[in-house]
Amino acid sequence: MSNPREPIEVADLDASLSKAARYRELNGQLAALFGGERSGMANAANLCALLYQNLPELNWVGFYFVQGGELVLGPFQGKVACVRIAIGRGVCGTVARRRKTLIVPDVHAFPGHIACDKASASEIVVPLLQKGRLLGVLDLDSPLLARFDQEDAAGLEVAAELLLRCSEFNRLVD
Ligand code: SME
């Protein structure tokens, strides 16, 4: 792993990049950032920071992990958030049940949406699936309506796969 006395350098992304190119760069940076580190907690935390700093128009990025049959808040960036979400409730709980990425262009039109930050207008949630087992979800919120599209879904699904491939989650999930 990197020398703890040296700051980890992650270059800012070129603002003129297309969305797909930006995700390719970000996912390359993520792979380098994870390095040989296997802690799911540490890698999930750095993933949140990297996305929050490098994707425009976000007000929240974070994880919920499956613990005791419900979703429990994990590492995140943004305002404080609700800690426990039942499977099937809200956008996160719906994704946990359906096990498919969900893009919500207007959270106020989503029945049962759980508002953690009243600035949130749109949301995307990606399931974390390892060999068919649901470990949790990755949730991004934006203050803009319809901020997320299929390119975001594709880029974030690659980021989630990278995280799962590089990390152990035994202590975060039960
Ligand atoms: N909006 C989510 C709750 C989590 S927060 O956005 C951080 C939902 O409806 O599940």
- Enter the pTM of the model: 0.94
Q: How confident is the model at residue 86, as a pLDDT?
A: 98
Residue 46 pLDDT greater than 90, yes or no = yes
For a ligand 1 pocket test, name from 77, 89, 123 the mutation site with the most ligand atoms within 8 angstroms of its C-beta. Answer: 123
- Give the nearest ligand 1 atom to 81 CA: 7
Report how far ligand 1's centroid is from the alpha carbon of 64 (Å): 10
Q: Enumerate residues 6+ apart whose C-beta is below 8 A from 21.
A: none
Helix (H, G, I), strand (E, B) or coil at 45: helix
- Give the nearest ligand 1 atom to 113 CA: 9
Residue 3 pLDDT greater than 70, yes or no = no
In this prediction, residue 104 has a pLDDT band, given cuts at 50, 70 and 90, of very high
Report how far ligand 1's centroid is from the alpha carbon of 115 (Å): 6
Report how far ligand 1's centroid is from the alpha carbon of 141 (Å): 8
Q: How confident is the model at residue 4, as a pLDDT?
A: 58
Q: pLDDT > 90: what percent of the chain?
A: 84
Residue 7 pLDDT greater than 80, yes or no = no
For a ligand 1 pocket test, name from 114, 125, 137 the mutation site with the most ligand atoms within 8 angstroms of its C-beta. Answer: 114
In this prediction, residue 113 has a pLDDT band, given cuts at 50, 70 and 90, of very high
Residue 2 pLDDT greater than 70, yes or no = no
> Whose alpha carbon is nearest atom 1 of ligand 1?
114
Give the DSSP letter string of 58-118. Answer: -SEEEEEEEETTEEEEEEEEES---SEEETTSHHHHHHHHH-S-EEES-GGGSTT---SST
Within 10 angstroms of residue 65's Cβ, the number of other Cβ atoms is 23
And the tokens for 80? 């404080």
Query: Which residue ranges have their beta carbon within 6 Å of ligand 1?
Result: 60, 81-82, 85, 90-93, 113-114, 116, 120, 123, 139, 141
Q: Enumerate residues 6+ apart whose C-beta is below 8 A from 10.
A: 29, 33, 50
Residue 23 pLDDT greater than 70, yes or no = yes
Q: How confident is the model at residue 127, as a pLDDT?
A: 98
Residue 171 pLDDT greater than 80, yes or no = no
**Could you give the C-alpha distances from 41 to 23, 77, 82, 158, 171, in angstroms and in order?**
22, 14, 18, 18, 9
Give the integer Cα–Cα distance in Å for 126 and 51.
14
Compare 53 and 2 and report the one with higher pLDDT. 53
Residues 60-73 have a mean pLDDT of 97
Sheet with 60-67, side-by-side order of all strands: 84-86, 70-78, 60-67, 133-142, 122-130, 102-104
- Give the nearest ligand 1 atom to 78 CA: 7
Q: How confident is the model at residue 5, as a pLDDT?
A: 53
